[in-house]
Amino acid sequence: MTIDYHTLCNWPFEDIEQTYTARDAMFYSLAVGYGADPVDPDDLAFVYEKELRVPPTFAVVLGFPGFWARDPKSGIDWVRLLHGEQGIEIHKPLPREATVIGRSRIARVVDKGEGKGALLEIQRSITDKATGELYATLTQLTFCRGDGGFSALGGPSDDAPAAPPAVPERVADHVCTLSTRPETALLYRLCGDDNALHADPRVACAAGFERPILHGLATWAVAAHAVLKTLCASDPARLARFHARFTAPVYPGETICTEIWRDGNAVSFRARVVERDVVVLNNGTATLR
């Protein structure tokens, strides 16, 4: 079965209602590394209920529609899916607790050609149930490696999104190094992504990894933490947008070094694993307020 453009563009996502508490927000922060230095006042603000701050990236685990691509009606070869890029636009800082609604839609379906795969751009809004206020808009680019060629008989295909810009060639203006813990993936999966790839050594080995890998969105959150700490004085209200491309996995316990370039309110970044000197996030961009 192949994917059908119109089926995907009209996919019947249900609204997802989710209530979170201050404890949930603090657990997420701990899972992605805030509080590694428990006496750092900037980090402590994300893991201690007194004057609690919520990381902007917490929105990525809210209102998630589940692994909908496994539905046979999607036509997607879900085994060959890759999470290519992730972005967030922050409209208003998340409160310490709320009931939110996640609304997802497929905004773009791109045929790269037979044998070259397809791209899906999935957008999700996170709004407050009580007030309707928009907190964040999430954009996920998924690479469907087994689904190219669906438009060969004249069916529609959207234009590919613009490629994210390369980072500057000059030496980085800032470097922020943050460690992960050996149990980071086991903690992060309790935030909503319980894929066995991140916990079961046998599953990881079958997928070609030497051991369970860290969730890409956890790596993404570590880089966002680095930008917040370095350029925003750890104030979530100062980060307006954040986007990056996934380029390689991280093993829990490795150290993530985020290189940051700033030009006014425009930020570029990339992240590499120190131990293996491998770039794990690239083409990163952020916008400051």
Per-residue model confidence as pLDDT tens digits over 36-62:
999 999 999 999 999 999 999 999 999
Domain that holds residue 38: 5-144
Q: Are residues 183 and 131 in the same domain?
A: no
Q: Are residues 195 and 252 in the same domain?
A: yes
Q: Are residues 9 and 122 in the same domain?
A: yes
Q: Are residues 123 and 181 in the same domain?
A: no
Active-site entry in 76, 90, 213, 260: 213
Q: Are residues 207 and 247 in the same domain?
A: yes
Q: Are residues 130 and 207 in the same domain?
A: no
Q: For residue 40, what is the domain's CATH number?
A: 3.10.129.10
Active-site entry in 24, 43, 111, 193: 193
- Letter for the amino acid at 34? Y
Q: DSSP states of 197-263 as a string?
A: GGT-HHHHHHTT-SSPPPPHHHHHHHHHHHHHHHHSTT-GGGEEEEEEEE-S---TT-EEEEEEEEE
Whether 164 is in a domain gets the answer: no
Indicate if 193 belongs to the active site: yes
Number of domains in the chain: 2
Per-residue model confidence as pLDDT tens digits over 201-252:
998 998 889 999 999 999 999 999 999 999 999 999 999 999 999 999 999 9
Whether 161 is in a domain gets the answer: no
Q: Are residues 130 and 182 in the same domain?
A: no
Whether 154 is in a domain gets the answer: no
Active-site entry in 63, 102, 216, 284: 216
Q: Are residues 60 and 105 in the same domain?
A: yes
- Given a cut of 70, the residues of the chain with pLDDT beneath it are 1
Indicate if 198 belongs to the active site: yes
Q: Are residues 239 and 108 in the same domain?
A: no
Active-site entry in 76, 122, 198, 225: 198
Angle of CA points 102, 96, 288, to nearest 5°: 75
For residue 126, give Cα distances in angstroms to 90, 226, 252, 282: 10, 23, 29, 26
Whether 166 is in a domain gets the answer: no
pTM, entire model: 0.94
Question: Which pLDDT score is estimated for 80?
Answer: 83
Q: Are residues 130 and 184 in the same domain?
A: no
